[in-house]
Each structure stands twice: as structure tokens, then as C-alpha cells.
Structure 1
Amino acid sequence: LARRGKLAPLPASAADWLRENYAAGESWVDLGTYAGADGAEALYGFVYKVDVKSLVWYSPENFEDMGYEVPETMEELKALTEQIAEDGETPWCIGLGSGPATGWPATDWVEDMMLRVNTPEDYDAWTRNELAFDDPKVIAAIEEFGWFARNDDFVSGGASAVGSTDFRDSPKGLFTSPAQCFMHHQASFIPSFFPEGTVVGEDVDFFYFPASAEKDLGKPVLGAGTLFVITQDSPVAQAFLEFLQTPIAHEIWMAQTGFLTPHKGVNTEVYGDPTLKKMGDILLQADTFRFDGSDLMPGAIGAGAFWTAMVDYVGGKDAATVAGDVQRTWNTLK
């Protein structure tokens, strides 16, 4: 729409406001900036309402029974994974099954790993194929996912079950007695598939999918969001944009449900429930925010070759081979 001249650029002050008032502010400016009809880049999208994907779900009761603590770094998460396996339990439930879309849950894993082993700039270049899909940096991220998913001792049902287990059924292992697994990596929507009556914060909880302490990459968060744009500029449109910059514009919805914000000036105590407040805190602590990478790629890649490659990978093919398969497909699109 911006490229076709159908949107009005937002004032420069809006970009400055986002940088100053949103956690990971530069990320939000980048996500709302596009080339206009004249080819010049400008801020067109103002982010309002965010979703979070970088989450790990777990049973507090199971953790307490085994004496496990919530990990705060990737190194601690890997150590916990190994400890659970050494204790004779299964650390993870992972399922990639989703009918015709089988494989997509692995894209979230790889995207999270891309932000934990590579820079945000590498991530951006990867989504545009300026960093080839079979570049060693991407292969390293895939192999980080494989560290968890391709170890029979780490996954419920063994590594061979990952590709065929439906993602909607996968988290149910957290709630069996005895537990079939202790952790599940998935976005904020997954409670929709928990057993009826499950109370988040009591029966199940979540923690931030941690970043590495050994790498200086801050705290990246993967997710999505909603953008306001102006299709026809007017004083009323500009006034509404100014309203969106006030804390009350966010707090009105925060006090209800289904809304998260990176606005640093809001009163987080008004969130409608503790779960939203905790997710909001994750957003406020983020240094970098990035949108779902597979959704930024051409459909034939992000909703096709990438999915297939991940199924092949958990099925036994090596990361370099499946990454090369995706890149060959991408080459045909040029």
C-alpha cells in the first residue's frame, strides 16, 4: 500500500516517539517503515497491540516436585534439559503436525534461535534472502533447534515422533500423571489447546525463552503485532495518532483482555490478568523485537519449502542439506 501511494507517511515525530517510548523502540520503527511511491522510506505503520511467541510453557507443580528452577539463560535451559533427562524424565513435548501446514511450529523455533545465535541484522537479511538460507549462520540456528528436537532422550515419544505429533496435542503431555514432558515452546495462543479448566498461573505457567549469556545479543522477542496506518490524512487522523501515544489509549484495553503493549509509560498493574501482565513484562524487557520470519518470506518459502525442510530435518536429514533444499527453491523465485 505504501509503495502504491495509498498511505500517508506518519510525521517524523512519531518515529522519534516510538524510539523513546516503546521498549525495543528501534525495532518498531523498522517494522513500520517502508518505501513509498517515490522510493523513499518513511514510517507508515504505528504499532498498537502486540503478540508474543518467545515463550516456554511448564507445570509449576512438576518443577517444584523435582526441585527445578526456571532458567534465565539459554545455557541454563540446556543444563535443565540435560538434568531432566538424567533424572529419567522427558524435558520437552514438541509436535510439528498441522495437516497441510505440518512443519510450521519448527519455523518459530528456528526464528527464535536465529535471534539467539545471530544479530538482528542477520535475521532481517535472512528473511529477505540477502543472507542465504544455507548460510552457516542459518544452519547453526537450525542445529540449535535440533539440539532439543533430535535427541530421543529430550522429546516425548522420541525424536521420530516430533514430525508426526499434532502441535495441538503436543502440550497435553504437560498435564498427564506422570508428566510426559516438562516444557513446551509455543506462542501465547497455545492455552486454547490445554485441557478444559486449566488455569494459567496455577496449573501451568510460562517463562521467557531465554537468550544466551555468552553472546552479546540482548533479550530478543519474537512475535507479531497490529499496525495503524493513515489512508487519508486529516486533522482527525493525526489527532487519533496522538491519542495512541498516550498511556490511557493502551491502558483501556490492557484492563480488559487480549492486549499487550511495549509502551514503557503505562501502568502495568491495570492488565486484566496476571498472565497478560507477565507477557507484558517480557515485552518491556526486550532489547529487540522481530516479526515471524517465515511470514516475511515468499509464500513458497515461508509457507512451503521451510515447513517441508523442518519435517525432513527432524526426520534425520542434516541441517545443511535441508537448508540447501530451501535455498534452491528460493533461487527459482528470482
Structure 2
Amino acid sequence: MTTSTTLPQLALRRFRQSSALVACALGASVGFAHPVFAQAADPYYAAAVAEAARIAEGVELDDFIEMIGQASGGEGQTLEAVYAAFTEGSGVDVRYTGTPDTGAVVQSRVQAGNPPDVADLQLGVAKTYAAEGKTVDLSAAFGDELAANFNEMLLETSSMEGKVFGVYQGMSPFMVWFNPQTYTGPSAPTDWQEMVDWTNAEAEAGNAVWCAAQGAGGSSGFPGAQMVENLFLKKYGPEKYTAWGAGDLAWTSDEVKGAFEDFGATIVAQGKVAGGPFGAISTSIATGYNGLTSDPAQCQVALWAAWVPGLIGETAVAGETIDFFRVPATDPAYYPYELYQSSISVGLTDEPTTKAFLQFMASTPAQTYLASLNRWPVANKNVPAETYPSELLQEISRDYFNSGDVEFAAGPNLNNKSATSSAFYAAVMSYIQNPDSLDEALETVQATIE
């Protein structure tokens, strides 16, 4: 599957060495083609142009708008294709620059009093600007449209004091990946205990069922960090998960320790993870999930995000050798809640052109056109699943965005500062190597926020 470099890059300034690997995965084609920009004859493009014209009607707009984002290369071209519809419909030239150093570039521009009109940022960074009063209030500009187009809890993650400060475009949820040809576990379970029981039974039979590679250079451990967060959310719920991400629940708490221990007992324990714990920490994410589709198979399941098929490559064929189900929950009350990976676009100049562009970016026609370009799942819940050429993206869209029973939550994955993220990843690696080191490792993470 492809979901673009942008998906991990949406928060991947933290793991620079791994970003290249995941970026390659998300730019790969698994079961569907790369985007083709045949705009003139494209009804989705035409609808986006018409939406831009509607938004611009009667509004005095500037000649151009500047945006700095994280997507570059082919992924940047995909976004620019969508923004071209805004230009055609409104007459405003969108001057887009893609850079992996978005946060640093934007920070220097803000400090100099010359911010870009729009910036695509990691959520925690965007929240800092919102708290400082540097972002545009989108609720006042087009709040009704936002409420109609996006999941309520998703809007809460992009709000401060009741004011929406940003817009999501592409998003990557997390799931359990499996190979339908080799998987022997429970069918789309909602109860995590079913996965625990099956894993234990397979381990007793001599079968290690999990792939959980952690190798990513200086950012090794970040896949495990995201696995721990999934288990936390599904066991303790969104309120505690949000508190953890905000620094209000200590890393040394029983809840955080419990999520680590659940991860250790089921996913990376000896006899349960392919290659054993040492194999998990020493195997690169570039190849460490190939075991799902290899012949013979080296594992049966992996808990990670929408980019897993892209990491695997050509042997991951949607519906044949790769499929997914949502992450089961320890507490059934928390099954509807899901993690996600995404950046967020914010307005940094309080101008009609900035508001118009963000309104367009959030609109159903614009995100429908973006979906049709087949790069990644989009956040707007009203985009029809059949818009995506990829069957796998259609399935993700139906299960996570169109079903109406999913609530997204943001925690450490999106809100951590760099030092905390690095310590978190190191704690994962330390814990896999030596489970007895957990208390000390969590104290080290906690020290980064005190």
C-alpha cells in the first residue's frame, strides 16, 4: 500500500533516520498505481475548482499565499495538484515549499515577525503556537463546515479553548496487519485478550507470531512506542491517554508501566516475536515486517500503522497476502478509540486569503480530489470510500472515517517534545533488552518533562 512519505513525516522530524525508510514505503505502490494528475478531464478536480470559486466569491483575496509543509518530492506534488484547484478557482497563487525542517524554518520565520501564511506542523508544535495566540481561529471563520466534515474528537485535538486552530489533510490510523494466507488467529477480534490467548497458544506450539522490528538508527524504538500507546489507549481510555500526552499523567504511573508490560508480555517476549527480543531490536524497519508475506512466513501479525504494506513492498498484495483489522481493546468501552499519525495545517496570518485557503483545504471537494490521487487516507469523514482507486485505502476509509463509530485521540505520539520522544524510544529498546530496567527507563523519560 502507499500512503505517501507525508504520513510518517507528519510527525517524523523526530525520527530523521527512520523517516527515509518509512518515506520510501509510503511512496511505494502496493496494489495500486502512483497518482496521475490529469486535471483537465478530472471531475474531482473540477469539483475542487468549483469549491474554491464558491469560497472566494465576494471576498477580496491577495494575489498569492505562502505555505511551508513537510511533504516534498512526489508527495509534495500531490498536494500541489490539489492546491492548483484552489488557484484556478480563486485566482490566488499557492506558493508551497516542502521541507523536512518545517518546524525549525517556521520557528525562525515566526521569531523574525515574518511567518508564512500557512504551515503544516507537528500537533504539539501547533498547540504551542495556538497557546501563544499566533494561530488563526478557524471556528469563527468556517466552524459549521468543520463540524460537518470532521470527527468530533478529531476537532477537539485541533482545538484550544473551544477554538479550532488547524486542519488535517492526510491521516494514517493504526491497525493489526496480517496475511490472510497464513494467519491462524481470531477473526477481526475486538477483545485484546483473544490476541493474548492465541499468541500464548502459538508460542507453546513453538510459533512466534509477531513481527515487531525496531531498528531505525538513532530513532530505534519508535515503532514499539507507538505499539505501547495503542495498548494504553485501548486499556485506559482517551482521557488518561490525552493526559499522558499533555504531561499530566506521569510516565512512572501504573498505567504507563502497565501498557509497557502488556507490550512486553505479548508482542516482544521470547517465543512470541520473530527473531526473539534481540531480533526485534536489531532488525531494521526497512525489512523487519517482510516476514508477514515471506515464503515461508516468519510471523503472522504486526501492530503498526497504514504504511506497513509499503514497507513490505511487492509481496504485499491487498486482499491476498495483506489485510488488517482494528486494534482490539482490553476494555471494550475503549474499542472505538484509535491512534493516528498526522500533521496539522495552521494559519499564521489573520488574513481573508489564509482563511479561504484553509477552508478550501478542509472542504469535502478538496479532500475528495486528494483521496482520488491515491496517496493516503484523508481526514474528512464525508469523502466517499470509493473515491480511492486502491481497495486497501477504500477499506481503511470505510473502517476508520466513514463508519461513524471511530473516535480519534492524540497522546504522546503527536504531542511529545523531541527530548521526551527520544527518551521514550530509548525506554522501549531498554525494556525489550531487559524488562527489569523498566522503572529506571520510565524515570528517565519523566525527567525530560520536569
* TM-score computed with the length of structure 1 as normaliser: 0.85
Cα deviation digits, residues 262-298 of structure 1 (max 9, x gap)? 4333322111211111111232245331346244222
Q: Counterpart in 1 of 2:366?
A: 249
Distance in 1 (alpha carbons) for counterparts of 2:142 and 2:193: 38
Cα displacement (A) at 1:242: 4.1
- Residues 292 and 169 (structure 1), Cα distance of their counterparts in 2 relative to 1, 3 Å cut: farther
Q: Counterpart in 2 of 1:217?
A: 334
Distance in 2 (alpha carbons) for counterparts of 1:117 and 1:268: 29
Q: Counterpart in 2 of 1:167?
A: 285
- Find the residue that maps to 2:271 and give its secondary structure: coil
Q: Counterpart in 2 of 1:58?
A: 178
Q: Aligned match of 1:94 in 212, 218, 229?
A: 212
- Find the residue that maps to 1:229 and give its secondary structure: strand
Distance in 1 (alpha carbons) for counterparts of 2:182 and 2:262: 26
- Find the residue that maps to 2:426 and give its secondary structure: helix
Q: Counterpart in 1 of 2:167?
A: 46
Q: Aligned match of 2:441 in 314, 322, 330?
A: 322
Q: Contact 1:29–1:43 (CA<8 Å) still a contact in 2?
A: yes
Q: Which amino acid in 2 is paired with 1:48?
A: Q
Moved more, 142-151 or 271-280: 142-151
User: What's the % identity of the aligned pairs?
Assistant: 27
Aligned counterparts, 1:85-234, within 5 A: 85-212=203-330, 214-234=331-351
Distance in 1 (alpha carbons) for counterparts of 2:302 and 2:315: 19
Q: Which amino acid in 1 is paired with 2:175?
A: L
Cα displacement (A) at 1:61: 0.8
Which structure 1 residue ranges, 5 or more long, are not aligned? 35-39
Q: Contact 1:48–1:227 (CA<8 Å) still a contact in 2?
A: yes
Distance in 1 (alpha carbons) for counterparts of 2:140 and 2:339: 26
Q: Counterpart in 1 of 2:39?
A: none
Which structure 2 residue ranges, 5 or more long, are not aligned? 1-128
Q: Contact 2:171–2:342 (CA<8 Å) still a contact in 1?
A: yes
Cα displacement (A) at 1:314: 0.8
- Find the residue that maps to 1:265 and give its secondary structure: coil
Q: Contact 1:15–1:29 (CA<8 Å) still a contact in 2?
A: no
Q: Counterpart in 2 of 1:37?
A: none
Q: Which amino acid in 2 is paired with 1:30?
A: E
Q: Contact 1:218–1:288 (CA<8 Å) still a contact in 2?
A: no
- Find the residue that maps to 1:216 and give its secondary structure: helix
Distance in 1 (alpha carbons) for counterparts of 2:198 and 2:282: 25
Cα displacement (A) at 1:73: 2.7
Cα displacement (A) at 1:139: 0.8
Aligned length: 319
Distance in 1 (alpha carbons) for counterparts of 2:130 and 2:281: 39
Cα displacement (A) at 1:124: 1.7
Say what the alpha-carbon RMSD is for the aligned residues: 2.5
